Amino acid sequence: MNNLVKSLMFNKLTAKLFLKSALKIHSLSYKVSGKLATILNDGVHPKKNIIKYNDWFVENIQDNDVILDVGSNTGMMSEMMCVKAEFVYGIEIQSKLVRDAKVRRQKDNNEFICADATIFDYANCRPIDCLTLSNVLEHIEYRVDFLKNIIKKVKWKDESNKKLLIRVPMIDREWIAVYKKELNIEYRLDTTHFTEYTFIKFSKEMKQSGISILNHHVVFGEIYAICKVS
């Protein structure tokens, strides 16, 4: 009986009829699960405590560093880094997020700026040791130009040592994301992403931007890379 039911439910005809719907439900379930989990976790997505991605950025800065946190959002990572760093600038283009950061996370050794990081005048800022970009690049359409412009605009403390800490999501985090893309089904973790990376694609964009990858690792389908301007 079980074999009969399986043969009726799982065959080429039913697969053709229901596969795309099943994959769309998979995507919807991912988003809904994240929202519900965030509600139960008092407004904080549980991935922050599981992945601990902010910790990696803090571990890879120095006590005397001046940091520019690009795409600082509500300032959570900037706030964590300013406990260790000498000073942290958080630059974010969305005014609502900057207002939230200033209310909730303002410290004596950080400053939140509402501006486009590629055209902001950094003349009144301290010289920078390190740029941090945590899940920022995938939201940018012209990423190579974006990186080149920021690197050029920023005042660097040491022109021979321009450091970047970068975190980006990978499309090949799991087979199903790649398969969805092949079938022209929404595969992105966030619909505002212009891309999701393979390491080959990430390496190519870094090279085009004049950036060398010193070392990297992958955790939970994301690239964490310590980089330097070539």
pLDDT for residue 15: 85
- List the one residue out of 148, 111, 132, 13 whose CA is nearest residue 61: 132
Which residue's entry shows tokens 């920023």? 154
- The CA-to-CA distance between both ends of the chain, in Å, stands at 66
| 10 pLDDT higher than 80 | no
With the C-alpha atoms ordered 16, 21, 25, 26, is the resulting torsion angle positive or negative?
positive
Which numeric CATH code is attached to 53-177+184-229?
3.40.50.150
Cα distance between residue 100 and residue 87, in whole Å: 19
pLDDT for residue 146: 96
**What pLDDT digit, counting tens, does each position of 32-54 carry?**
999 999 999 888 888 888 988 99
Q: Which pLDDT band, with edges at 50, 70 and 90, does 6 fall under?
A: low
Three-class secondary structure of residue 212 per DSSP? strand
pLDDT for residue 1: 52
**What pLDDT digit, counting tens, does each position of 181-195 carry?**
999 999 999 999 999
Are the C-beta atoms of residues 164 and 130 closer than 8 Å to each other? yes
Q: What value does the mean pLDDT of the chain take?
A: 93
The single-letter code of the amino acid at 206 is M
Three-class secondary structure of residue 39 per DSSP? helix
**What pLDDT digit, counting tens, does each position of 94-149 carry?**
999 999 999 999 999 999 999 999 999 999 999 999 999 999 999 999 999 999 99
Model confidence, pTM: 0.91
Domain boundaries, the chain: 2-40, 53-177+184-229
